[in-house]
Amino acid sequence: MTVTGILTVTLFALNILFALVLIFISRKSASSTWAWLFVLFFLPIFGFILYLLIGRNLQKKHFVRWHAVQQEETLETFQDQKNALEEGTYEFPNAVTKKHAPLIKMNVDYNHSLLSSKNDVKILAEGKEKFRSVIEDIENAKQTIHIQYYIYKMDDIGKSIFNALVKKAKEGIEVQMMYDDLGSRTLRKKDLKKLTDAGGQVEAYFSSYFKLFNPRINFRNHRKLIIIDGRIGYIGGFNVGNEYACLDDEIGYWRDTHLRIEGNSVYNMQAHFLFDWYQARKEELTEIEQRYFPTFTVDSDTPVQIVSSGPDTDFESIKNSYIRMILSAKKYVYIQSPYFVPDEPFMHAVQIAASSGVDVRIMTPEVTDHPFVYGANSAYSGDLLEVGGRVYRYKKGFLHAKMIVIDDEVATIGTANIDVRSFSLNFEINAILYDTNLAIQCRELFEADIKESFELTKEQYDERKTWTKIRESVSRLLSPIL
């Protein structure tokens, strides 16, 4: 046998070995396994290198240090609510929460997400408004400022927030800043030195030894949180950078949605920040200081649940909340997401709702930042059109909002996209709002965005070119690993 023949046989044998490892050891879902086998078949050896970078499961043992605290959560209010829901004696704060009790109970049982009824919530749909509000609240902070972002850029917007943090740190306020090492890979230590010199603390989540390349592409911390004095919280889709304030001419208009919450639901946001903070520091979290959870009251009575998900848990709480909302809808389901690459359970839920006469509408950007994602968006949009759903492509700029609203009753806004990466690979966090007025505001935002969109009809979809159909087919096969 020639040298070329020996190499060919060796590569073929190694590829079979890699495939067997993938099937019998990795224990992935069937759809994900088939997607990876597809990659291994067409990209021998290189496909397995790609798998080592982005395909491996996260070892849950690495998260024992903060899971132990989470599982020992025995706060009296949490236990009282959990027991009351189980016994049927819970006094629901409004008619919407009573109607959607199964959703609330699911998140209490499987996500330790306490329903808080004392909250004042403001929806922020413009970047400039959001950042102006953030800086004002930072400047008024009295005790603590905790800030966490997937992407933090040290441009004009980033510097304006950073300088406000430095100023508060110099005043003796506790400032803790955390960013994802991959998402914020352009940040340098010298960019952050002013804050640490002023007494602030900075941590990178899942950092890498390589300066501009992080081999751990999966399992990123995609959460965006700010908690001020334990009573004011920001949660939603905006990262920190000029483009998010529509100050980047190349990107243009940026459409996103964020929440400013003042109330008791901020306790859950605070707890998640602290868990992530200690994980980033690789420190044991044995107890949580009470000063991070001050006692205070607000006049508004908006019920809110803060729901999280990540690769450290077996229950995909945010995805399951989405599905529960969709299947609870009687009139309409409006969904906004920059990526619509759902898994089978989510896709089945929207198809069931649409085929049952519910007005299901999905809005994504006209232009995405990844060709395979665009193909997958198109493929799954076609599936929805087949059962009477409606699909919109936002064309004013880039749509980055992650929002679902149903029946003028319940809405959720947060960091989780409609894709497998957000459902099971990244650390995400969402707020669920059980309030008619806020749900109506979300619906009105969606309806206003329709005016800046074009509707993709079934006739238009059926006329797509052969190359588009091929790209859709490949994208659909790869969708579990996009």
Q: Among all residues, which ones are annotated catalytic?
A: 222, 224, 229, 400, 402, 407
CB 326 within 8 A of CB 353: yes
Using CA atoms, how far apart are residues 90 and 81, in angstroms rounded to an integer? 7
Burial of 245 (0-12, 13-18, 19+ CB in 10 A): buried
∠ CA 249-180-176 to the nearest 5 degrees? Answer: 105
- At 108, list the tokens: 């209490």
The CA-based angle 252-428-262, given to 5 degrees, is 85
Q: What is the DSSP letter of 221?
A: B
Give CA–CA dist 380/368, Å, rounded.
15
> Distance of CA 13 to CAs 7, 10, 16, 47, 422, Å?
10, 5, 5, 14, 34
CA 428 to chain centre: 4
From CA 124, how far away is CA 232, in angstroms rounded?
14
261 strand-pairing partners: 121, 233
410, 413, 419, 421: CA torsion to nearest 10: -130
Measured distance CA(76)–CA(309) in Å, rounded: 24
Do 36 and 22 touch, CB atoms closer than 8 A? yes
Rounded Cα distance between 114 and 78, Å, is 6
Residue with tokens 């706060």: 75
SS3 300: coil
Give the containing element (helix H, strand E) for 378.
helix 371-386
Beta bridge partners of 215: none
CA 390, 356, 445, 321 dihedral sign is negative
Rounded to whole angstroms, the Cα distance separating 289 from 287 reads 7
With residue 307 as reference, give the H or E element that holds it.
strand 304-309
Amino acid of residue 200: G
| Cα 307 to Cα 349: distance, rounded to the nearest angstrom | 20
Both tokens assigned to 377:
């968006």
